[in-house]
Amino acid sequence: MIEVEPVTALGDRKEKQMCNPASFVVMKQGKSLKVFWSDDTSESHEDIIEHFKLNEKNVRDEITLVRVEITPPGNNFAVPLKKWRYQLDQDLRPEWYDEKEVERAARKELKEWLAAKVVLPGQKREVIEKGKHVAIMFGEVGVMRGSSQVGEMRGSSQVGVMRGNSQVGVMRGSSQVGVMWGSSQVGVMWGNSQVGVMWESSQVGVMWESSLATTRGPQIQTALASKDAVVIDRSVSPPECYVGKQDNDKDKT
The pLDDT tens digits for 143-191 are 999 999 999 999 999 999 999 999 999 999 999 999 999 999 999 999 9
Name every residue whose Cβ is closer than 8 Å to that of residue 16 and which is 6 or more positions away in sequence.
169, 187
The β-bridge relationship of strands 212-215 and 194-198 is: parallel
Q: For residue 7, is pLDDT > 50?
A: no
pLDDT, residue 4, reads: 41
pLDDT, residue 219, reads: 66
pLDDT, residue 173, reads: 97
Signed CA dihedral, 41, 9, 170, 143: sign only: positive
Which residues partner with 215 through β-bridges? 198, 233
| Residue 8, Cβ density class (10 Å: 0-12 exposed, 13-18 middle, ≥19 buried) | middle
Q: Which of 17, 54, 52, 18 is nearest to 37 (CA)?
A: 52
pLDDT, residue 248, reads: 46
pLDDT, residue 152, reads: 97
Kindly report the number of other CB atoms within 10 A of residue 251's CB atom: 5
Name every residue whose Cβ is closer than 8 Å to that of residue 251 and which is 6 or more positions away in sequence.
none
How far apart, in Å, are the Cα atoms of 154 and each of 108, 111, 133, 158?
Answer: 26, 21, 16, 9
More confident residue, 219 or 135: 135
Q: Which of 150, 151, 161 is nearest to 126 (CA)?
A: 161
Lowest mean pLDDT among 52-56, 182-186, 214-218: 214-218
pLDDT, residue 200, reads: 93
Judge whether 21 and 134 are in contact, CB under 8 Å: no
Nearest-5° angle of CA 161, CA 18, CA 9? Answer: 60
pLDDT, residue 246, reads: 56
The distance of Cα 192 from the centroid of its chain, to the nearest Å, equals: 18
Q: pTM, whole model, 2 decimals? A: 0.87
Q: For residue 41, is pLDDT > 90?
A: yes
Judge whether 167 and 187 are in contact, CB under 8 Å: yes
